[in-house]
Amino acid sequence: MLWTRVASGVVLAPLFLLLVYLEFPYFHLLVAAIAGVMGWEFTRMDGRIGKKRSAFVIAAALGAIAAVSFGQWLPALVLIAVATITLAAADQVAGRKGFYIVQIAVVYVALPAISLLYVMSVGGAVSIFWLLAVVWATDIGAYAFGRLIGGPKLAPSISPNKTWSGAVGGLVSAVVISSAVAWGFGVQVTFLLGALAGGLSIVSQAGDLFESGLKRHYKVKDSGALIPGHGGVMDRFDGLWFAAPLAALLALVLGGGVQSW
């Protein structure tokens, strides 16, 4: 399993990074493809909702991505809100009272997707590379430190294999590796940039835990089987999808991308 996971990463990571480097429209098409598959995986995980809801979530997510690709940010946000309300209302009309996790599928899939596009639009490929360095270093560092050190469990009721040593190791790895990537692109490495990387690392790990909790809730091992050794697309991009909205907020508040932070 480990070697399959590594082999998949070796094959797919360079292609992913190439599409980031090429920026518009290739990166936008990549994000749309990821969001489309994630929409299908999220809704199908329940096993009861059906193809119509999957199609609705995918269409709403792709519609929001298409809107922002042409600079229409407000319509994209309105679309996400309306689609989410529509899902909740449909459940009420159908007699499914209360809250269902799949009701937030559009928000979970589409909001991070357009957040990534916003970061790209104001910070370029360099900002995406830095964000990927944070998330990927967190993932790899948490796995490595967790296996080497072990110790107390981070959230045993959600994900029994995750440890506090892994969480701290992932955070440290994210700060160090993302700083190295920033320096490599000529970006001045500051305490603020390191602190932001640490915050994004924590949020990325929260995304991993959320998806682990989702799978435990629905009693499935993986969100899918599209990526050998990794499971589904949600399994691979859960951390990035949680970190992306925060990265977009930072880009909005601080102005521009990592080059100006």
pLDDT in tens, 72-85: 999 999 999 999 99
d(CA 67, CA 60): 11
More confident: 168 or 88:
168
Q: What is the pTM of this model?
A: 0.92
- Whole-number pLDDT of residue 229: 54
d(CA 18, CA 157): 38
d(CA 71, CA 217): 37
- Whole-number pLDDT of residue 160: 87
- Whole-number pLDDT of residue 224: 66
- Whole-number pLDDT of residue 33: 97
Q: Which residue has the tokens 């160090």?
A: 176
For residue 261 the two structure tokens come to 């932070």
- Whole-number pLDDT of residue 95: 73
- Whole-number pLDDT of residue 244: 98
Going 163 to 169 to 172 to 173, the CA torsion angle's sign is: negative
- 71 residue type, one letter: G
d(CA 75, CA 139): 34
Residue 20 neighbours by CB under 8 Å, 6+ apart: 27, 30, 125, 128, 129, 132
164-205 pLDDT, tens digit per residue, is: 999 999 999 999 999 999 999 999 999 999 999 999 999 999
